[in-house]
Amino acid sequence: MSGPDDAAAPALLPLYAQVKARLVSRIQSGDWKPGQLIPNEFALAGELGVSQGTVRKALGEMTAEQLLVRRQGRGTFVQRHTPESMLFRFFNFHDAAGQPIVPETLWVKVRKGIAKPAERTRLALEAGAVVVRISRVRGREGRPFDHEQIVVPQALFPGLADASEVPNTLYDHFQQFYGVTATGGEEKLDAVSAGEREAGLLDVAPGTPLLRLDRTMFSFDDKPIEWRLSVCALGGAHYSVRLG
């Protein structure tokens, strides 16, 4: 309606980017919750004092980043993590036939402790910060597939270490119970030999080649929320990457 500079926005960004930042912060703050229907384009445009096309551009970028889901005829919703959507996005293993692998948890142990230097670096924590460490073995069809060592800041997930059990899929649990949304991550892969301990956990012979994954997961503003070190006995399965 009025003009390009309206409210208290000292930014030097395009209007649509400022609109996007405002909408993202509404999700980040919990003002808009996962699964919730948000106002339509015209309502947002009127409220923010910009045109509908500008709102559309902001919503389009947020949809591309998987923060929103738009459905013609229904409306725009905040993306809600489900076990299925999380596996599809962040679990890249497929079997020999190309079918996605759905892992089960075979064994899990949760501890609490003071963050070690390596953990502080990965999770951007201050000295003395408390972390929750989850060690678990996951499998497919009852056979062990990978051993994961997961570290998260306790401050983000209070009570996680004391819960009676840890859910099989973590990221949807993080979102639903702690309001922490995983938005992306970085993963580093290499190959290692199974030592005595991994061989026992994964039921393979010592020396078996394993795929090792070193993953850091981020939320909004690239804030680290999880560090995960996995070793996998693939047994005919593989890790899939799309190049583009």
Partner DNA sequence: CAGTGGTCTAGACCACCGT
Partner DNA sequence: CGGTGGTCTAGACCACTGT
- Residues forming contacts to DNA in the complex (CB under 7 A) are 1, 3-4, 14-17, 38, 40-43, 50-54, 56-57, 70-76
Neighbours of 92 (CB within 10 A): 17
In terms of CB distance, is 25 or 40 closer to DNA?
40
In terms of CB distance, is 128 or 244 closer to a second copy?
244
- Position 228 contacts a second copy (CB under 8 A): no
In angstroms, give the least distance from the CB of 33 to DNA.
16
Which residues, 6 or more positions from 36, have their beta carbon under 8 angstroms from its beta carbon?
Answer: 77, 78
In the shown chain, the binding pattern of residues 52 to 71 toward a second copy, with x for contact by CB under 8 A and - for none, equals: -------------xx-----
Q: Of a second copy, DNA, none, which one sits near residue 80, judging by CB under 5 to 8 A according to partner kind? A: none
- Position 103 contacts a second copy (CB under 8 A): no
- CA 160 to CA 98: how far, in whole Å? 35
Calculate the CA dihedral of residues 113, 117, 119, 120 and round it to 10 degrees: 100
In terms of CB distance, is 9 or 57 closer to a second copy?
57
Calculate the CA dihedral of residues 159, 161, 164, 166 and round it to 10 degrees: 110
Q: Which of 89, 120, 140, 223 binds a second copy (CB under 8 A)?
A: 89
Q: Of DNA, a second copy, none, which one sits near residue 184, judging by CB under 5 to 8 A according to partner kind? A: a second copy
Please, what is the Cα angle at 234 between 230 and 235, to 5 degrees?
155
Q: Of a second copy, DNA, none, which one sits near residue 51, judging by CB under 5 to 8 A according to partner kind? A: DNA
Please, what is the Cα angle at 112 between 199 and 183, to 5 degrees?
80
Neighbours of 38 (CB within 10 A): 19
- Contact by Cβ (8 Å): 166, 150: no
- Position 229 contacts a second copy (CB under 8 A): no
In terms of CB distance, is 8 or 191 closer to a second copy?
191
In angstroms, give the least distance from the CB of 193 to a second copy.
5
- Position 35 contacts a second copy (CB under 8 A): no
240 class by beta-carbon count within 10 Å (0-12 exposed, 13-18 middle, 19+ buried): exposed
DSSP letters, 69-82, are EEETTTEEEE----
In terms of CB distance, is 30 or 244 closer to a second copy?
244
In terms of CB distance, is 6 or 186 closer to a second copy?
186
Interface with a second copy by CB under 8 A: which residues?
A: 65-66, 89-90, 92, 94, 183-193, 207-211, 214-215, 217, 232, 234, 237-244
